């Protein structure tokens, strides 16, 4: 039997190493501290000195035709589970001698900045200061997370990894687990930004509730379709194992449909079509991943 590896694309070509640098270790620790502090702040109850008003009470003050059912927000349990898991993984890089530096410092900086923006968003909303500021804060947080994701994907598929002795555990964690954990969070932020945009259109741009809901939904659909095309046909080399964003979209669309179907706000058909689209995109995405991997591995399996 041939000793040729089954996945040569991911093997090292020389004996060079790339251990985790001091700067990267400092960034990891700072990111973990920021995450821990913002997580503790997020777990604090409403109607306190820090958060004077309940987020739900402020939301009811600004009714819209595009809102999610209460059960939808249980997704935060999954979001924080994924975030804690990948943050804990990065902490192991600080102490493991065999760890490989793959995630660049800028990713930790962007992620921390996004967490801070999200925390400031809650502080602003709980004080009912405006509808524009929350939208801008969510937009900034979502943008930071999306850029962070792209840097992670780029770092995990950098050509220099083929020229060093790379820890395979770190390589696969960074190519599969870390980006899926981050996209799970970033996609929810994208959806929240569109919902906040919907509210801003009504109470600052004075659009009708129906027009605002349709506009916000259309923006979200454009983002999803654009991303599907981008990740499958343009940057597929980097996004090879990314798929959890569609799970988030299905959960969110289901929550929107449940709430709108109950209230009869008029966008039920549009949201149902969006939900079906998300399900089809998830199925297509998984099919593409399976096909690409089978095609890549088949010559080497035959040799073996």
DSSP 240: T
Task: Quote the pLDDT of residue 60.
Answer: 87
In a domain, residue 22? The reply is yes
Residues 68, 218 contacting (CB under 8 angstroms): no
Task: Quote the pLDDT of residue 4.
Answer: 39
In a domain, residue 70? The reply is yes
Mean pLDDT over 219-236 rounds to 96
C-alpha–C-alpha distance, residues 226 and 298, integer Å: 31
In a domain, residue 284? The reply is yes
Task: Quote the pLDDT of residue 7.
Answer: 43
In a domain, residue 2? The reply is no
Sign of CA dihedral 107, 172, 100, 232: negative
In a domain, residue 6? The reply is no
Task: Quote the pLDDT of residue 228.
Answer: 97
Mean pLDDT over 153-173 rounds to 80
Q: 158 pLDDT exceeds 60? A: yes
Q: Which domain holds residue 214?
A: 11-303
If phi > 0 it is left, if psi is from -120 to 50 it is alpha, else beta; for residue 219 that is: alpha
> pLDDT tens for residues 168-191?
899 889 999 999 999 999 999 999
3-state secondary structure of 164: strand
Q: 304 pLDDT exceeds 70? A: no
Task: Quote the pLDDT of residue 270.
Answer: 94
Task: Quote the pLDDT of residue 13.
Answer: 34
Mean pLDDT over 238-261 rounds to 95
Looking at the 3D structure of the chain, how many domains does it have? 1
Query: What band does 49 get if pLDDT is binned at 50, 70 and 90?
Result: confident
In a domain, residue 290? The reply is yes
In a domain, residue 1? The reply is no
Residues 94, 29 contacting (CB under 8 angstroms): yes
Residues 217, 270 contacting (CB under 8 angstroms): yes
Percent of the chain with pLDDT over 70: 88
Q: Work out the burial of residue 88: count CB atoms within 10 Å of its CB; fewer than 13 is exposed, 13-18 middle, 19 or more buried.
A: exposed
Angle, CA of 198, 260 and 54, to the nearest 5°: 60
From residue 115, alpha-carbon distances to 3, 38, 39, 49, 119 in Å are 46, 7, 9, 21, 6
Task: Quote the pLDDT of residue 298.
Answer: 64
The mean pLDDT of the chain is: 88
In a domain, residue 46? The reply is yes
Instruction: Give the range with max mean pLDDT: 40-49, 74-83, 288-297.
Output: 74-83
Query: What band does 9 get if pLDDT is binned at 50, 70 and 90?
Result: very low
The gap between the terminal CA atoms of the chain, to the nearest Å, is 6
Percent of the chain with pLDDT over 90: 67
Choice between 7 and 186, residue whose per-residue pLDDT is larger? 186
Choice between 109 and 61, residue whose per-residue pLDDT is larger? 109
> pLDDT tens for residues 187-221?
999 999 999 999 999 999 999 999 999 999 999 99
From residue 122, alpha-carbon distances to 44, 48, 114, 212 in Å are 11, 13, 13, 23
From residue 62, alpha-carbon distances to 202, 203, 263 in Å are 9, 8, 15
Mean pLDDT over 268-273 rounds to 94
């Amino acid at each position: 039997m041939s000793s040729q590896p089954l996945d040569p694309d991911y093997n090292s070509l020389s004996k060079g190493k790339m251990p985790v640098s001091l700067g990267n270790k400092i960034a990891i620790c700072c990111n973990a501290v920021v995450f821990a502090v913002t997580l503790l702040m997020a777990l604090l109850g409403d109607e306190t000195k820090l958060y004077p008003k309940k987020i739900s009470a402020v939301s009811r003050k600004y009714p819209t035709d595009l809102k999610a059912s209460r059960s939808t927000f249980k997704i935060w349990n999954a979001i924080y589970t994924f975030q804690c898991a990948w943050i804990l993984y990065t902490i192991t890089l600080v102490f493991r001698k065999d760890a490989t530096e793959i995630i660049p410092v800028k990713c930790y900086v962007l992620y921390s900045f996004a967490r801070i923006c999200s925390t400031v968003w809650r502080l602003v909303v709980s004080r009912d200061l405006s509808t524009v500021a929350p939208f801008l804060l969510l937009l900034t947080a979502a943008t930071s997370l999306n850029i962070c994701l792209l840097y992670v994907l780029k770092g995990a598929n950098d050509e220099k990894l083929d020229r060093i002795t790379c820890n395979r555990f770190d390589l696969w964690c960074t190519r599969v687990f870390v980006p899926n954990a981050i996209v799970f969070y970033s996609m929810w932020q994208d959806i929240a930004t569109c919902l906040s945009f919907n509210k801003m259109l009504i109470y600052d741009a004075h659009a009708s509730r129906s027009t605002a809901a349709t506009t916000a939904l259309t923006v979200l659909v454009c983002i999803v379709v654009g991303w599907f095309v981008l990740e499958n046909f343009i940057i597929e080399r980097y996004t090879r194992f990314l798929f959890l964003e569609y799970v988030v979209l299905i959960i969110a669309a289901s929550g929107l449909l449940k709430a709108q179907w109950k209230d009869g706000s008029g966008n039920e058909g549009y949201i149902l079509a969006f939900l079906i689209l998300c399900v089809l995109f998830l199925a297509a995405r998984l099919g593409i991943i399976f096909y690409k991997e089978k095609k890549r591995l088949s010559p080497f399996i035959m040799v073996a």
